[in-house]
Chain A
Amino acid sequence: MTQVSQLLRPPLLEVSHVVKSYDRAKPALNDVSFSVRTGEFVSVIGPSGAGKSTLLRCINRMTEVTGGEVHFEGVSVGKLNRKELKRLRSKIGMIFQHYALVDRLTVIENVLHGRLGSKSTLAGALGRYSRDEKQQAMDVIAMLGLSEHVYQRCDRLSGGQKQRVGIGRALVQDPKMILCDEPIASLDPNASRIIMDHLKAFSRTMHITLIVNLHQVDVALKYSDRILGVNNGRLVFNGGPDELCPERIAEIYGTDTAARQEFPRPGRAPEDELCQLTSSSNVATRAYSSLQSWAR
């Protein structure tokens, strides 16, 4: 893909100077601006409470912004009326940390919920889906490797399987973009890898744009095209995984005590990996060792 054609096309998502404050004390988001192109895999990293979830929720207006604007496909999200907002949301999938499924319903029913956004109110309320929609849901379920659980109730699935159902629900929406709010935070490493591989595959093969909130820096480095670092409601890093050296990570995770817990302790495996993944130049190594002494 040439750089020129990408530059000519307007970005899929443009977040400009977004401010969100829940109370007067301290804004959850403070003047955040970035843009995302079609098909990009963007990770958002930062300490707990930095505003990652708020940022994601501001994009499809699950949370109203206090200031600034969000443009999706060139349309200002903040100015949409209720009907237009529903149409917008039906183009954006969302995946949650705690899956947010209806536990008492079956896998197929939960996946079909993704179609509700593009159905009439009556058909949606009665749960009547067309043959095409059912076929599409079955295809998605097969793709996610859940074919043998189609008619099983969701409360009998494992965490990783539930998250795959959540992904299925987002996928049957035929989304342009999927927002993932810490999709692997409550999963074991193996299930996490499966989920992340699925997400990566969608961004590659279906050109679905992904914005993923992550807690694990190593996962972000491995999968993303671009990484956004958020700290204290501010966007403090915006660049490719290769630009994210340990000292930038330290900057993202800040210097307060909460951040120390977030950041892996020195001498542990994840950080060693991280070191190899980033840069092995002398400068980076020096920065890394200074970081280690800081963390102590």
Chain B
Amino acid sequence: MSVAATTIAAIFALILAMVGSRTTRINRFFSIFARGVASVFRNIPLVAWVMILMLAFSQSLLTGYLALFFGSLGFLTRAFIETVDEASIHAVEALRATGASYPSIIFQAVLPSSLPQMISWLLFMIDTNIRDATLVGVLTGTGVGFSFDLYYKNFHFHEASVVVILIVITIIAVEMISNYVRRIIL
């Protein structure tokens, strides 16, 4: 669920980042709008997102999914904007000087130069979200967080600790995978 939330968020964040970045923005209004969206989503804490969304979707998977989605969207937009500005400002300028069209510039200069860095951010976000998913689970009554909560509240501490150990193992495994992927692409 966290992987799904993060990847979908990444796609939207990519669009927002293109609009929001100083180098690739279409106009000032869209840029401010995109940055505003990113900032609002990022600055509302995950727990608050869950609480708010629970009013609409009650205790379900969708609540958790959307909470992770909004949080990731805000963070990734911000990270992608920074990446784009840093990696490709000169190349974008050069391509604009050759008379290249906007889509050409995006696909030929911006994406090739900033994609590895973006994927690196994306993997980081997946790591973080898998960790946060536990907390979201406790609150929304789903997934591994719910199992932990249930055992814990019934004083089954042995079972609860098994759940915690499982979470730790999962996170370490995911981190190892993402480190491996990062090494290959960068």
Chain A interface (Cβ within 8 Å of chain B)?
60, 62, 85-90, 92-94, 96, 98-105, 113-114, 116-119, 121-122, 124-127, 166, 169-170, 173, 179
Hey, which chain B residues are within 8 Å of A102, CB to CB?
88, 91, 108-109, 112-113
In the assembled complex, the Cα of A122 lies from the Cα of B113 at a distance in Å of 20
State whether A105 and B100 are in contact (beta carbons under 8 Å apart), knowing that A113-B95, A127-B107 are contacts in the complex.
Answer: no
Hey, which chain B residues are within 8 Å of A93, CB to CB?
97-98
Hey, which chain B residues are within 8 Å of A105, CB to CB?
112-113
| Minimal Cβ-Cβ distance residue in B for A118 | B99
Tell whether, in the assembled complex, residue A86 and residue B99 are in contact, meaning their CB atoms are under 8 Å apart. yes
Q: Please list the 3 inter-chain residue pairs (A to B) with the smallest Cβ-Cβ separation, ordered nearest first.
A: A117-B99, A124-B104, A89-B99
Hey, which chain A residues are within 8 Å of B95, CB to CB?
113, 116
Chain B interface (Cβ within 8 Å of chain A)?
88, 90-91, 93-109, 112-113, 116
Tell whether, in the assembled complex, residue A121 and residue B98 are in contact, meaning their CB atoms are under 8 Å apart. no
The 11 listed contacts between A and B (C-beta, < 8 Å) are A60-B97, A94-B94, A99-B90, A100-B91, A102-B88, A113-B109, A116-B108, A117-B99, A121-B104, A126-B107, A179-B97
Hey, which chain A residues are within 8 Å of B101, CB to CB?
86, 116, 121, 124-125
Tell whether, in the assembled complex, residue B107 and residue A87 are in contact, meaning their CB atoms are under 8 Å apart. no
State whether A104 and B97 are in contact (beta carbons under 8 Å apart), knowing that A121-B103, A124-B104 are contacts in the complex.
Answer: no
Tell whether, in the assembled complex, residue A169 and residue B94 are in contact, meaning their CB atoms are under 8 Å apart. yes
Q: How many whole Å from B111's CB to the nearest CB in chain A?
A: 10
In the assembled complex, the Cα of A121 lies from the Cα of B95 at a distance in Å of 13
Q: How many whole Å from A70's CB to the nearest CB in chain B?
A: 15
| Minimal Cβ-Cβ distance residue in A for B97 | A94
State whether A87 and B94 are in contact (beta carbons under 8 Å apart), knowing that A102-B112, A116-B108, A125-B108 are contacts in the complex.
Answer: no
Q: How many whole Å from A126's CB to the nearest CB in chain B?
A: 7
Hey, which chain A residues are within 8 Å of B104, CB to CB?
116, 119, 121, 124-125
Tell whether, in the assembled complex, residue B100 and residue A101 are in contact, meaning their CB atoms are under 8 Å apart. no
B97 contacts which of A87, A89, A99, A101 (Cβ < 8 Å)?
A: A89
With contacts A62-B93, A100-B94 known, what are 12 further pairs, Cβ within 8 A? A86-B101, A87-B99, A90-B99, A93-B97, A104-B113, A116-B98, A116-B105, A117-B99, A121-B102, A124-B100, A124-B107, A125-B108
State whether A113 and B98 are in contact (beta carbons under 8 Å apart), knowing that A100-B90, A102-B113 are contacts in the complex.
Answer: yes
Hey, which chain A residues are within 8 Å of B112, CB to CB?
102, 104-105
Hey, which chain B residues are within 8 Å of A119, CB to CB?
104
Q: How many whole Å from A294's CB to the nearest CB in chain B?
A: 38
Tell whether, in the assembled complex, residue A116 and residue B116 are in contact, meaning their CB atoms are under 8 Å apart. no
Q: How many whole Å from B109's CB to the nearest CB in chain A?
A: 5
Tell whether, in the assembled complex, residue A89 and residue B106 are in contact, meaning their CB atoms are under 8 Å apart. no
Tell whether, in the assembled complex, residue B91 and residue A62 are in contact, meaning their CB atoms are under 8 Å apart. no
Hey, which chain B residues are within 8 Å of A125, CB to CB?
101, 103-104, 106-108
In the assembled complex, the Cα of A162 lies from the Cα of B116 at a distance in Å of 22
| Minimal Cβ-Cβ distance residue in B for A115 | B98
In the assembled complex, the Cα of A86 lies from the Cα of B113 at a distance in Å of 23
In the assembled complex, the Cα of A227 lies from the Cα of B104 at a distance in Å of 36
In the assembled complex, the Cα of A98 lies from the Cα of B88 at a distance in Å of 12
Tell whether, in the assembled complex, residue B98 and residue A114 are in contact, meaning their CB atoms are under 8 Å apart. yes
In the assembled complex, the Cα of A101 lies from the Cα of B95 at a distance in Å of 9
Hey, which chain B residues are within 8 Å of A127, CB to CB?
107-108
Hey, which chain B residues are within 8 Å of A122, CB to CB?
103
Hey, which chain A residues are within 8 Å of B109, CB to CB?
102, 113
In the assembled complex, the Cα of A85 lies from the Cα of B96 at a distance in Å of 10
Hey, which chain B residues are within 8 Å of A124, CB to CB?
100-101, 103-104, 107-108
| Minimal Cβ-Cβ distance residue in B for A57 | B97
Hey, which chain B residues are within 8 Å of A62, CB to CB?
93, 96-97
Q: How many whole Å from A7's CB to the nearest CB in chain B?
A: 31
A173 contacts which of B98, B107, B116 (Cβ < 8 Å)?
A: B98
Hey, which chain B residues are within 8 Å of A85, CB to CB?
99
